[in-house]
Amino acid sequence: MSVFSGSSAVLHQVFSDALKGLNRGALVDPNGNAVFVNSHAPTDLATLPQTGALCHRYLKLNDGDVALTNDPYSGGTSLSDFTLVRGLRLFKNSAAIDYLLVSRISHPPRLPFHARLDEEGVRVPPTPLVTESQFNRDLLYAIAAHPLAPRRLFESIATELERMDQAVKILKAVADDPRSLFSAAGIKAYLDDSRRVFETFMSRLPLGNATVSQQLRTGETLKLQLRITESQVVFDFTGTDSPTQFGLTDLATFGACWAALVGSYDASIPANTGTFQGVHVSAPTKSFLSASAPTATTRGTSEGVAIVGRLVNQALARLSPSTQLTSAPAGDGCYQFNFEDGRQLTLWPPAGQGARADGPGTDVWAFLQANSRPLSPEEIESSSGVEVVSIDVRKNSGGHGKHRGGHGVAIHLRFTSPCSLIWNDPSLGKTNTGLKGGRAGAPAALEVFRQGTKEREEHLEPTGRLEFAAGDEFYILTGGGGGYGEPKKEPEDE
């Protein structure tokens, strides 16, 4: 079928439907050009295509072959994220594979964070997992049995392979229609139209340069020069320090910049090669935004993404003030509870969004929507030895202002069996200042009430470890976003 005006939108829908069962998935050509990326994680945008291309380059995948890797330095993100790459021959006349289906599975990270990659988990370079329809179970068992491998790795990968089967079934069915838009011409039109979508988006951007920098609490300096011309957006991080505490790969940095750019303008833009072409990221070699082995990446791909995203937003706000977010908690705190019976619960409680120049912040929000699954008390209770006593919006935590900062969340847990907690939450104790007269949002805090006592322990350390006995109670109070603009009247307690 010849392509027509509108065919790209139909094809986009086909890809969305095919990949909707994959939480973090992409359709990529064998050279690593992204046709369609569907993921809530900014770090995936450029890393999924790259993982696909590298696996194919090393392993020469055929139709149905699947490779496995989690290596951040082979296109991955962090060692807790395992990526599967499957070769796809879709068209009858093709001699080799036409595309690669890439899917990434998240597992809880190993806390506390480590400085070296090999301490963060087991590192799996691109490895053949399914070859000529033979699933190498023994190999996967061996990887899953490694002491640093994520729990239930075998099961999660086996499940993901089934999900990929479903996606492949849809893609092959559509490609099997002789008049399908899913053809070389259809894909070309789709990528061309996507590029035009991005060009239209760019025409809305203010032209100019802006320079911002930030001193991180871990000591590094982060510098960004943003240059927006009529044809491209350049994020130049020259001057940024080498890694001390955490690192991001250059591709992960690209994803953080791209997502923060389109997110700042609330733009709905397909993520693919056509829309990536207008964005250039320059991260100096050996800076923590272009980390290389053996630098650890887990912290970088969570906390680091939020830091880069905020800096991008600040730089954009210099050129277009309406996009500015006020200060807000990072919203990327990670809490890991390990119970005596071996069960583990990992929570990423969302925080309040900083108010914008043109409106209030969103309550209980995760920056760039990473880890933004709704908090389900039923899931928490079902998977662990803890009772959720309450979950509620943390009232009055958002900073007052002409536009209020978003409120954080208050989670009250009561332990039913002993456990130990390890956490990493850079927003603990950190005030989220308002802008233009807006008041600060409440800092995040942790509170503990030991069974049989009424004394409150407060914890504001960004990282730590606590032991709990059955009956102890624990509050996670995430921070509120800063307000924007002078409030008309002072807040009354809600």
End-to-end CA distance of the chain: 60
Contact flag: residue 268 with another protein (CB under 8 A): yes
Smallest separation, CB 359 to another protein (Å): 7
* Nearer to another protein among residue 119 and residue 387 (C-beta): 387
Residues 6+ apart with CB under 8 A from 203: 230
Contact flag: residue 197 with another protein (CB under 8 A): yes
Tokens of 128: 């053949």
CB atoms within 10 A of CB 466: 16
Collapse the DSSP code of 454 into the 3-class scheme (helix H, G, I; strand E, B; otherwise coil) and give the result.
coil
Pairing of strands 99-105, 82-88: antiparallel
Smallest separation, CB 290 to another protein (Å): 22
* Nearer to another protein among residue 266 and residue 455 (C-beta): 266
- Residue 307 CA to residue 309 CA, distance in Å, equals 5
What are the two backbone dihedrals, phi and then psi, of residue 362, each rounded to the nearest 5 degrees?
Answer: -85, 140
- Residue 260 CA to residue 237 CA, distance in Å, equals 15
Side chain identity, residue 125: P
Among 92, 147, 179, 455, the residue binding another protein under the rule CB under 8 A is 179
CA angle (117, 120, 123) in 5-degree steps = 70
Smallest separation, CB 145 to another protein (Å): 29
Nearest one of 78, 52, 79 to 67, comparing CA atoms: 52
Contact flag: residue 42 with another protein (CB under 8 A): yes
Among 161, 368, 440, 442, the residue binding another protein under the rule CB under 8 A is 368
Contact flag: residue 266 with another protein (CB under 8 A): yes
Among 210, 319, 393, 470, the residue binding another protein under the rule CB under 8 A is 393
By CB under 8 A, the count of residues binding another protein is: 67
Residue bearing tokens 């990423």:
348
Contact flag: residue 413 with another protein (CB under 8 A): no
* Nearer to another protein among residue 54 and residue 355 (C-beta): 355
Side chain identity, residue 344: Q
Among 173, 185, 207, 469, the residue binding another protein under the rule CB under 8 A is 173
Q: In what order do the strands lie in the sheet with 344-347?
A: 344-347, 334-339, 419-424, 463-468
What are the two backbone dihedrals, phi and then psi, of residue 428, each rounded to the nearest 5 degrees?
Answer: -65, 130
**Interaction residues for another protein, span 105-164 (CB under 8 A):** none
Among 260, 334, 444, 476, the residue binding another protein under the rule CB under 8 A is 260
What are the two backbone dihedrals, phi and then psi, of residue 217, each rounded to the nearest 5 degrees?
Answer: -65, -20
Smallest separation, CB 133 to another protein (Å): 20
Strand stretches in 98-203, DSSP E: 99-105, 127-131, 134-135
**Interaction residues for another protein, span 292-331 (CB under 8 A):** 313, 323, 325
Among 412, 436, 450, 459, the residue binding another protein under the rule CB under 8 A is 412
Residues that bind another protein (CB under 8 A): 1, 4-10, 13-14, 40, 42, 169-170, 172-174, 176-177, 179-181, 193, 196-197, 199-200, 259-260, 262-264, 266-271, 313, 323, 325, 353, 356, 359, 362-365, 368-369, 372, 374-378, 381-382, 387-393, 409, 412
